[in-house]
Structure 1
Amino acid sequence: MSTAQLEKTLPTEALFDRYHVGWETKDAELIASLHSADTIFQLHDGSEPIVGRAALRAHCRTLFDTYDFSQTMGRRLYGHNYWVFDWRMVLSLALPDDSRFVAHVEMVDVVTVDADGLVTAKHVYPDAQQMTAAFARAGIAR
């Protein structure tokens, strides 16, 4: 069996698939259940990290209630205790006149996983220029 074939069978790939369903369906319970109790979730946009499963669950609920977004999947790289996910956020935002526009923000997730198969940390790196421009256009101060 080749290295490429072995990489396709890593447990992190199966975990990513379950995890991604949580984000696609905006299921805060599912997402939180796949994180360790002491997990760290950090969007690297100047925000403070979210620490702990309960805080992550609450953060996801607020995120899903506040923003209308979806994901366009890109490249995924898997290791035995991590994955890296290159994706595009497709975000529908309101303009000050209440019309809407769609913004695209390139993102990269770096996720670590413990021996129990739980996410211990998720670091999300947005394209800062794209994100700043989208929120500024919508009149959202961040």
Structure 2
Amino acid sequence: MSATTLRTQPRLSIEHLFERYHTGWEAKNPGFIASTHSEDTLFWLHDGSEPIKGREALRRYCIATFEAYDFSQEMGRRLFGADHWVFEWTMVLPLTDKEGAPFTARVEMLDVVTVNKAGEVTRKDVFMNGDQSRAAFARAGIAIEGGIRA
């Protein structure tokens, strides 16, 4: 494909990029998720931990996260701009409390995602409801000092 052909192909809409990206998260496919990010991407779960920098580091982070937590997503509002989207969602996470009884944690989440002209995610900031996450992880006996890490 020539450079001219690349320039004349229509750019995917931000809504289409979101749907494609979200499919990777629903499928829990670390390789696909990472492939939708730029090489120098920044992924930051604002839970007290440091940001993940780079596509390969993000892929490894996703592998560890999906191995540690079997969460699903309930979709909420989606707001689209020219080069970004904001996505409200609820993490639904089956856990076991300290006495061994199962329970389902529900934590409100907010993603702010920036996309470059090539359609790659260059930055994703994930914000979680602190009260809900602290309560759920405390009930399950999971320490979250310095962030929730797999």
- 1:63 and 1:82 map into 2 onto residues whose CA distance is 24
- 2:100 and 2:51 map into 1 onto residues whose CA distance is 31
State the Cα deviation string for residues 42-93 of structure 1 (Å, max 9, x = none).
0111011000000000000000000010000000001110000000000111
Structure 2: gaps of 5 or more residues: 1-11, 145-150
User: What is residue 42 of structure 2 aligned with on the other side?
Assistant: 40
- 1:94 and 1:29 map into 2 onto residues whose CA distance is 29
State the Cα deviation string for residues 10-65 of structure 1 (Å, max 9, x = none).
71110110111111110001100000000000011101100000000000000000
Query: Aligned to 1:102, which of 91, 101, 104?
Result: 104
1:98: how far off? 2.9
Structure 1: gaps of 5 or more residues: 1-9
- 1:129 and 1:66 map into 2 onto residues whose CA distance is 21
User: What is residue 22 of structure 1 aligned with on the other side?
Assistant: 24
Identity of aligned residues (%): 59
1:97: how far off? 3.1
Counterpart residue identity of residue 138, structure 1: A
Query: Aligned to 1:126, which of 103, 128, 138?
Result: 128
How does the TM-score come out when normalised to structure 1? 0.91
User: What is residue 59 of structure 1 aligned with on the other side?
Assistant: 61
| Bigger radius of gyration among the two | 2
CA RMSD after TM alignment: 1.2
User: What is residue 148 of structure 2 aligned with on the other side?
Assistant: none
User: What is residue 113 of structure 1 aligned with on the other side?
Assistant: 115
Counterpart residue identity of residue 21, structure 1: T
What is the total number of aligned residue pairs between the two structures? 134
- 1:100 and 1:58 map into 2 onto residues whose CA distance is 28
3-state secondary structure, aligned to 2:42: strand
Counterpart residue identity of residue 47, structure 2: D
User: What is residue 68 of structure 1 aligned with on the other side?
Assistant: 70
User: What is residue 3 of structure 1 aligned with on the other side?
Assistant: none
How does the TM-score come out when normalised to structure 2? 0.86
Counterpart residue identity of residue 13, structure 1: E
- 1:94 and 1:54 map into 2 onto residues whose CA distance is 31
Counterpart residue identity of residue 103, structure 1: A
